[in-house]
């Protein structure tokens, strides 16, 4: 039963149901808000179309008779997709026939297994009505058939590149849908005070926030969310771990921090509180799933698997006669050719802001040159980041790491003048505005230009794994977040929190995030769903990288000390980029400081 907030209670400024600028910068908030309006599922479009068509027929043709079964099914499905609660009286009213007749028709639908009741009170006297899995499946299949019927009937008016091969199977395959919308839990959650979630304030999590009302209907409980920036999120999670009882039921964890959070007692192992097979582990991208483990035990479920890729403007490369930049040398050549400051265009943007942002960049650039940040054992696909519970030696001051540092210095010549303050969002926004020809960026940031038809990069962006150095190979460093259960969560909240975790990370839910603007797909089934693939070329690109074993999490291994190593690199190499220190000196200082951290002396 949904809990209502006490109106006299002082609002929490960090809660997401407060104005969006309380948790995100204004421009990030605008982008996040746009996501809610841009993604529309095929099923919802078809339901809306049928409803409109029925209305046109009934108001135009006389005499006419309403179809109560169809009207109630439409109302039920549409309300489910929009996250609106349906009562028996509201459903009967939508039937368009007298009350007694509608009640009989509703009974018929219940007996046919098309409508499910869910208790809204402890007594069970008050219930809400929901479409059954059978009804959802039927309408999902129907929506695909209606789209294909429309393409066939009106093919001369409607045919485009995607429907041109209809009779050869192209449109038939594109019309299939593998994943249905999420269905409501048979029993609503009963978490006192609502389900409490701590997340990162990025576009993907903001899509989840925009769908909060719909998920409240699915789980049958109110949902309260707090969102923070990357460093503040870590600080809040560590602070929460020191409390006698957790203030959150679920927390988002940056993948490289899994080891630290396990060692500091922040997270509870999932195999201790649930049957992990219920998560369908084999459906997750291998690198994303492995990144949530510590010494073989799962401590979180991938909520976002967002590799960092190279974004580049296909139109600019074609005009200049350039090939896609698959190596670091090719990146420098292309950046030089496309760098035109007098025209307001720069060659490349990347994370160069002091601290966390540059620290991540340096580690991933080292990986591009074949150098892990620790003495990890070489294995197929790269290096072993699954076994880190041992003494680790930093490997920062090495010849390959020096090549990485000098590559970053070379990029400075073709970067915008404010590159040293650019971080996660700052590098992608000017790319979306047409001021940058190439950018390193996470897939979760692609909505900045993929959903903005006014962006010069809209429809003109292609995606590559990280270009590699002479001794490296193509990799797409995996980033993103896992949802985990705090170790200090009260026992009486565990069982229902597990159910919520399964819902939020299910394939059906993740498809819904994509349809509403997210560009992360942690599961193979989501990335291969035809409706998802039609929304962005990024899903096909990531899928191919996954099958080529290019998605890797070893570039930022989840060692317990990784946060401090990132911070050190982010400061020492920022001084190098500013010209304060030479590359050799920056490498030596970072190595010495990292060794001190690993020895517990820093």
Cβ-based burial of 283 (10 A; exposed 0-12, middle 13-18, buried ≥19): middle
* CA 21 to chain centroid: 20
Q: Is the pLDDT of residue 8 over 80?
A: no
Cβ-based burial of 145 (10 A; exposed 0-12, middle 13-18, buried ≥19): exposed
Bond prior to 131 in cis (omega within 30° of 0): no
Q: Between 346 and 601, whose confidence is greater?
A: 346
Could you please state the CATH topology (level 3) that the domain comprising 185-305+480-527 is classified under.
D-Maltodextrin-Binding Protein; domain 2 (3.40.190)
| pLDDT for position 32 | 38
- Which H or E element spans position 198? strand 195-200
| Residue 168, helix vs strand vs coil | helix
Residue 600's pLDDT band (boundaries 50, 70, 90)? confident
Cβ-Cβ contacts under 8 Å for 571 (sequence gap 6 or more): 354, 355, 359
**Tokens representing 513?**
């995030």
**What is the maximal distance between C-alpha atoms in the chain?**
87
Cβ-based burial of 29 (10 A; exposed 0-12, middle 13-18, buried ≥19): middle
Q: Average of pLDDT values for 36-47?
A: 57
**Cα separation, 247 vs 486, whole angstroms:** 9
Residue 9's pLDDT band (boundaries 50, 70, 90)? very low
Q: Average of pLDDT values for 434-459?
A: 95
DSSP letter assigned to residue 486: B
Q: Is the pLDDT of residue 327 over 80?
A: yes
DSSP letter assigned to residue 303: S
Q: Average of pLDDT values for 510-534?
A: 91
Q: Average of pLDDT values for 544-571?
A: 95
Least confident of 24-28, 123-127, 587-591: 24-28
Least confident of 29-38, 230-239, 335-344: 29-38
Q: Is the pLDDT of residue 513 over 90?
A: yes
441 forms bridges with which residues in the sheet? 309
Q: Is 134 left (phi over 0), alpha (psi -120 to 50) or beta?
A: alpha
Given CATH 3.40.1440.10, say whether it is the number of domain 307-478+551-598: no
Q: Average of pLDDT values for 145-162?
A: 59
| pLDDT for position 361 | 97
The CA-CA-CA angle for residues 251, 256, 261, to 5°, reads: 50
Cβ-Cβ contacts under 8 Å for 184 (sequence gap 6 or more): 80, 116, 118, 130, 217, 218, 219, 220
pLDDT in tens, 335-369: 999 999 999 999 999 999 999 999 999 999 999 99
Half-sphere exposure of 202 (CA within 13 A, CB side): 28
Q: Between 46 and 200, whose confidence is greater?
A: 200
| pLDDT for position 152 | 63
For residues 182 and 218, the answer to whether their CB atoms sit within 8 Å is: yes
For residues 392 and 559, the answer to whether their CB atoms sit within 8 Å is: yes
For residues 518 and 444, the answer to whether their CB atoms sit within 8 Å is: yes
pLDDT in tens, 461-480: 999 999 999 999 999 999 99
| pLDDT for position 174 | 42
pLDDT in tens, 50-81: 877 877 777 777 777 888 888 888 888 888 87
The span from the first CA to the last CA of the chain, in angstroms, equals 50
| pLDDT for position 445 | 93
What pTM was computed for the model?
0.74
Q: Average of pLDDT values for 267-294?
A: 95
**Residue boundaries of the structural domains of the chain:** 42-119+128-175, 185-305+480-527, 307-478+551-598
Residue 118's pLDDT band (boundaries 50, 70, 90)? confident
Least confident of 137-141, 160-164, 535-539: 160-164
**Cα separation, 234 vs 240, whole angstroms:** 10
Half-sphere exposure of 110 (CA within 13 A, CB side): 13
| pLDDT for position 7 | 38
Q: Is the pLDDT of residue 424 over 90?
A: no
**Cα separation, 306 vs 513, whole angstroms:** 14
**Tokens representing 281?**
């582990």
For residues 386 and 594, the answer to whether their CB atoms sit within 8 Å is: no
DSSP letter assigned to residue 441: E
Residue 26's pLDDT band (boundaries 50, 70, 90)? very low
Least confident of 32-36, 223-227, 261-265: 32-36
| pLDDT for position 357 | 95
Q: Is the pLDDT of residue 512 over 60?
A: yes
% of the chain exceeding 70 in pLDDT: 87
**Tokens representing 203?**
């576009």
For tokens 């209305």, name the residue: 55
Q: Average of pLDDT values for 26-32?
A: 38
185-305+480-527 and 307-478+551-598 share one fold:
yes
Q: Between 83 and 344, whose confidence is greater?
A: 344
Q: Is the pLDDT of residue 208 over 90?
A: no
Q: Is the pLDDT of residue 28 over 70?
A: no
**Cα separation, 202 vs 442, whole angstroms:** 11
Give 449-491 as a 3 state SS string.
Answer: HHCCCCCCCCCCEEEECECECCCCCCEEEEECEEEECECCCCH
Q: Between 307 and 127, whose confidence is greater?
A: 307
User: Which is nearest to 568 in space by CA: 583, 554, 586?
Assistant: 586
Q: Average of pLDDT values for 538-548?
A: 91
Q: Is the pLDDT of residue 602 over 60?
A: no
Q: Average of pLDDT values for 91-115?
A: 87
CATH for 42-119+128-175, among 1.10.10.10, 1.20.1430.10, 1.10.150.120, 1.10.10.60?
1.10.10.10
394 forms bridges with which residues in the sheet? 374
For tokens 């995607």, name the residue: 162
Residue 2's pLDDT band (boundaries 50, 70, 90)? very low
| pLDDT for position 167 | 31
User: Which is nearest to 479 in space by CA: 552, 569, 401, 560?
Assistant: 552
Cβ-Cβ contacts under 8 Å for 360 (sequence gap 6 or more): 351, 556, 566, 570
Q: Is the pLDDT of residue 452 over 60?
A: yes
Mean pLDDT of the chain, nearest integer: 86
| pLDDT for position 52 | 76
**Cα separation, 579 vs 414, whole angstroms:** 16
């Amino acid at each position: 039963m949904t809990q209502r907030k006490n109106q006299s209670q002082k609002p929490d400024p960090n809660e997401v149901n407060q104005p969006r600028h309380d948790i995100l910068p204004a421009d990030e908030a605008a982008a996040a808000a746009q996501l809610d309006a841009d993604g529309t599922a095929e099923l919802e479009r078809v339901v809306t179309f049928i409803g409109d068509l029925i209305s046109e027929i009934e108001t135009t043709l006389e005499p006419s008779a309403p179809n109560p079964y169809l009207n109630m099914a439409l109302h039920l499905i549409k309300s489910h997709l929009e996250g609106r609660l349906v009562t028996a009286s509201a459903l009967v009213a939508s039937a368009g026939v007298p009350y007694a007749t509608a009640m009989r028709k509703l009974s018929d639908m219940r007996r046919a297994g098309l409508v499910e009741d869910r208790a809204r009170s402890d007594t069970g006297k008050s219930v809400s009505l929901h479409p059954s899995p059978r009804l959802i499946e039927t309408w999902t299949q129907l929506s695909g058939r209606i789209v294909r019927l429309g393409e066939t009937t009106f093919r001369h008016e409607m045919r485009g590149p995607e429907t041109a091969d209809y009779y050869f199977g192209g449109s038939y395959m594109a019309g299939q849908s593998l994943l249905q919308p999420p269905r409501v839990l048979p029993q609503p959650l009963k978490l006192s005070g609502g389900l409490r979630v701590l997340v990162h304030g990025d576009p993907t999590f903001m899509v989840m926030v925009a769908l909060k009302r719909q998920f409240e209907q699915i789980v049958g409980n109110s949902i309260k969310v707090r969102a923070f920036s990357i460093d503040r999120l870590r600080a809040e999670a560590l602070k929460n771990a020191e409390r006698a009882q957790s203030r959150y039921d679920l927390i988002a964890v940056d993948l490289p921090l899994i080891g630290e959070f396990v060692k500091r007692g922040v997270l509870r192992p999932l195999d201790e509180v649930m049957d992990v097979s219920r998560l369908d582990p084999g459906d997750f991208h291998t690198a994303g799933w492995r990144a949530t483990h510590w010494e073989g035990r799962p401590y979180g479920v991938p909520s976002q698997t967002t590799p960092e890729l190279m974004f580049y403007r296909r139109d600019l490369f074609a005009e200049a006669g350039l090939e896609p930049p698959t190596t670091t040398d090719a990146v420098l050549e292309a950046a030089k050719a496309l760098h035109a400051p007098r025209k307001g265009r720069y060659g490349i943007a990347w994370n160069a802001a002091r601290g966390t942002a540059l620290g991540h960049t340096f580690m991933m650039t080292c990986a591009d040159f074949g150098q892990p940040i620790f003495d990890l054992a070489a294995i197929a696909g790269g290096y072993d980041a699954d076994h880190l519970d041992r003494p680790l030696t930093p490997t920062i001051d090495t010849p390959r790491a020096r090549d990485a540092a000098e590559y970053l210095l070379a990029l400075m010549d073709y970067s915008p003048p404010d590159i040293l303050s650019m971080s996660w969002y700052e590098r992608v926004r000017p790319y979306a505005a047409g001021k940058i020809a190439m950018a390193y960026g996470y897939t979760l940031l692609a909505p900045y230009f993929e959903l903005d038809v006014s962006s010069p990069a809209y429809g003109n962006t292609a995606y590559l794994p990280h270009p590699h150095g002479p001794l490296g190979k193509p990799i797409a460093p995996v980033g993103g977040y896992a949802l985990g259960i705090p170790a200090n969560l009260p026992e009486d909240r565990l069982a229902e929190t597990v159910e919520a975790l399964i819902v939020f990370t299910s394939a059906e839910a993740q498809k819904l995030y994509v349809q509403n603007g997210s560009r992360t797909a942690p599961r193979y089934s989501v990335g291969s769903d035809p409706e998802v693939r039609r929304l962005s070329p990024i899903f096909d690109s990531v899928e191919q990288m996954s099958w080529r074993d290019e998605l890797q999490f070893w570039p930022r291994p989840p060692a317990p000390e990784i946060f401090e190593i990132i911070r050190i690199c982010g400061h020492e190499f920022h001084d190098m980029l500013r010209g304060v220190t030479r590359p050799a000196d920056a490498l030596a200082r970072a190595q010495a400081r990292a060794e001190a951290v690993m020895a517990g002396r820093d």
